[in-house]
Amino acid sequence: MSMVPVDYDGLIPNNVALGSDVRVKRALEKWHPGYIGWWMDMGPEGFQNALVYLRTAIGVDPKGWAKFDYVRMPEYRWGILLAPQREARKIPFGSHKGEDAWQEVPGEYRAMLRRLVVIQGDTEPASVEQQRHLGKTAPSLYDMRNLFQVNVEEGRHLWAMVYLLQKYFGTDGREEAEALLQRRSGDPDSPRMLGAFNEKTPDWLSFFMFTYFTDRDGKMQLEALAQSGFDPLSRTCRFMLTEEAHHMFVGETGVTRVIQRTCEAMKEAGISDPYEIDKVRKLGVIDLPTVQKKANMHFSLTLDLFGNEISTNAANAFHAGLKGRFREDRLKDDHELEGGTYPVLRLIDGQVKNDDAPALSALNMRLRDDYVADCQVGVDRWNKVIAEAGIPFAIKLPHVAFHRHIGEFSRTNADVDGNILSPAEWTHRRTDFLPSAADKDFIESLMQPQFETGKFASWIAPPKVGIDNKPGDFEYVKIADA
Ligand SMILES: [Fe+2]
Ligand SMILES: [Fe+2]
C-alpha cells in the first residue's frame, strides 16, 4: 500500500495531490461557493454558528484517521480522501477479471460509470436535506451532535463523488456536479433521484430508523462499488465506509435507547402488555408497536433502493467490472457468474415464490438479500433489550413483499408476513402496519427539545458511553455561541 500524506493547508484538504492538479483544483474551487450556498440553504436549520464537537477526517490510516474538536459546521474541513492505493490491484470480477485495475475511465464504460457515481452522489446531500429541521427538536446535545456529524460527513461524501466527476468526466462531470447542488429532496419539479431520498424524516425516531436502515443501503452500495475495477472509485468508497459505520451506529443505538427507555418506563409503571398503547404513551415514551410500524416503513422504503430484482443494468455493471457484489473479494466462486443461477422471490400466479434466475441478472436481489441479513443483526440486539425487560414483544423485519413501490411486489399489496391482500383489505389494514396520523401526532408531541447539558428527553435513554469517551455531562454542542 502506498500512503500519500494529507495536504491540510489549502481550501480543500486532500490526499490526491490536488496542489499539482491545477485543472481539477480550479474546478473544485469554483464548485466550493455553490456547495457552501447549498449547505447554508439546505443544511441544518439553525445552529450554523454553534460550536459542535465534531470528528474530522484528517488522514486515511485506519489506526488514526480522525480528530475531534469544536467546529462551526460551515467551517468543517470537507476533504477529498481516498483509501491508499493497493499495489498492482487487479479487477476482481466480471469480463475483465484479472486485468490491471483502471486508473482512468475505460472509454467504453464511461456513461455507465458516470451514472453510478451520480446516483451515489445524489443520495448524500439528499439525506442532509431530509434531516435539516431535526436540530430544533433534538432530545439531547449528544444526539444533536450525532445528527450534525452525520450531516457533515454526508456533505463530505458529496465532495468525494464530485471529485470523481470533476477529475474524470470533463464537461459532463462538471454539469453533473452542478446538478447535484440543484436537485432537492421532495421537490416536485427537481427531486432527488431515488424515492426513499424524497420522503420526509419527520421526527427523531424516523432519523434513527433512517440511519439504521437507509444508511445501511449506503453501506451495501459502497461495499459493491469498493470492489470496482475503476480504482479511484474503489478507493473513494473504501474510505467513505469508515465514516458510514458511525451513521449506522447512531441509528442502531438510537433505536436501542428508545426501546430501552420504553421498557424501563413500562416496568416502573407495572405494565407488561406492550399493546396497552394508551397507558404506555401516557408515560411519555414510544410504545413498541409504534416502533415496529416505523421500522416497517423505513425498511420497506429502503428495499426499493435496491431496484428491480431482475436487472440488466446491474448485470452490465458487473460484467463490465464496475460494480461488484457485497464483499466480492471474500466470495468463493468464479467472479464471472456467466453460467450460475440465483433464487429470486417473485410474484407468480398471485403467490410469492422462489424462482431461479441467471445469477448475473439477479445481482440486485442478491445485494438486497445480503442487506436484509445485515439488518437482522441489529434487530436481534434490539430484541435482546426487550427480552431482558421481560416484555413479550419482538421487533420483526417485515416481508420483502410488504409496502413496495419498485420491483416484483410493487404490483401487489402484501401484509408484513407476505400474505397478498386485496386493495380493500390493504386500505383497511394499512395503519396496522404503518404509522397512522394519530401515531405521527403522538410522536410529534414528544419531540420537545432537550438542550440542557447531560439531560435527555423523556422518551430516550442516555447512551452507554459518550462520543470520544467524553463524560455524560459533556457539552457536545455549545448553543450559547450560536
Ligand atoms: Fe454517505
Ligand atoms: Fe451515511
Expressed in angstroms and rounded, the spacing between residue 59 Cα and the centre of ligand 1 is: 18
pLDDT in tens, 219-236: 999 999 999 999 999 999
Ligand at minimal distance from the CA of 157 is 1
Question: Which ligand is the nearest neighbour of the Cα of 155?
Answer: 1
Listed residue (10, 125, 128, 6) closest to 67, CA to CA: 6
- Return the pLDDT at 3: 67
Cell of 26: 480550479
Which residues, in sequence order, are CB contacts of 254 under 8 Å at separation 6+? 143, 146, 204, 207, 208, 211, 212, 460
Position 308: which residue type?
N
For the cut 60, the answer to whether the pLDDT of residue 141 exceeds it is: yes
Q: How many CB atoms lie within 10 A of CB 47?
A: 21
**Residue 480 pLDDT exceeds 80:** no
Indicate if the alpha-carbon torsion angle 212, 218, 221, 227 is positive or negative.
Answer: negative
Whole-number Å distance, alpha carbon 428 to ligand 2 midpoint, is: 35
Query: Which triple of cell numbers denotes residue 128?
Result: 442532509
Give dist(CA 130, CA 214) in Å, integer. Answer: 12
282: left (phi over 0), alpha (psi -120 to 50) or beta: alpha
Q: Choose between 11 and 184: higher pLDDT.
A: 184
- Relative to the alpha carbon of 150, which ligand is closest? 2
CA 142 / ligand 2 centre spacing (Å): 18
What is the model's pLDDT at position 6? Answer: 86
% of the chain exceeding 90 in pLDDT: 94
Per-residue pLDDT reduced to its tens digit, 281-291: 999 999 999 99
Query: In 187-268, which residue ranges form alpha helices assigned H by DSSP?
Result: 204-209, 215-226, 231-268
d(CA 357, CA 335) in angstroms, rounded, equals 17
CA distance 374 to 212: 10
The pLDDT of 95-108, averaged and rounded, is 97
Spell 282-301 as b/e; 16+ CB within 10 A means b.
ebebbbbebbbbbbbbbbbb
Distance (Å) from CA 217 to ligand 2 centroid: 9
* 345 CA distance to ligand 2 middle (Å): 28
Cα angle, residue 315 at apex, residues 212 and 183 outer, rounded to 5°: 50
pLDDT above 80: residue 52: yes
Cα(26) to centroid(ligand 2), Å: 28
Q: Tell me the pLDDT band of 481, cut-offs 50, 70 and 90.
A: low
Residue 356 vs residues 323, 344, 405, 482: alpha-carbon distances, Å: 22, 6, 23, 58
**In this model, does residue 172 exceed pLDDT 60?**
yes
Q: Please give the distance, rounded to the nearest whole angstrom, from the Cα atom of residue 222 to the centre of ligand 1.
A: 9
Residue 353 CA, chain-centre distance (Å), reads: 29
CA distance 395 to 409: 22
C-alpha cell at 155: 456533505
Distance of CA 1 to the CA centre of its chain: 28
Which ligand approaches the C-alpha of residue 240 most closely?
1
260 and 463 Cβ atoms separated by less than 8 Å: no
CA pseudo-torsion sign 284, 288, 289, 292? positive
Task: Please report, to the nearest 10 degrees, the dihedral formed by the alpha carbons of residues 229, 231, 235, 236 taken in order.
Answer: -90
Q: What pLDDT score does 429 carry?
A: 98
What pTM, to 2 d.p., does this model score?
Answer: 0.97
Nearest ligand, CA 214: 2
Three-class DSSP category at 11: coil
- Compute the distance from residue 120 Cα to the ligand 2 centre, in Å: 11
CA 8 – CA 11 distance, rounded (Å): 8
Helix, strand, coil shares of the chain, percent, nearest 5, are 55, 10, 40
Supply 308's cell numbers.
Answer: 428491480
Cα dihedral sign, 436-441-446-448 = positive
How many Cα atoms within 13 Å fall on the side-chain side of residue 53?
A: 16
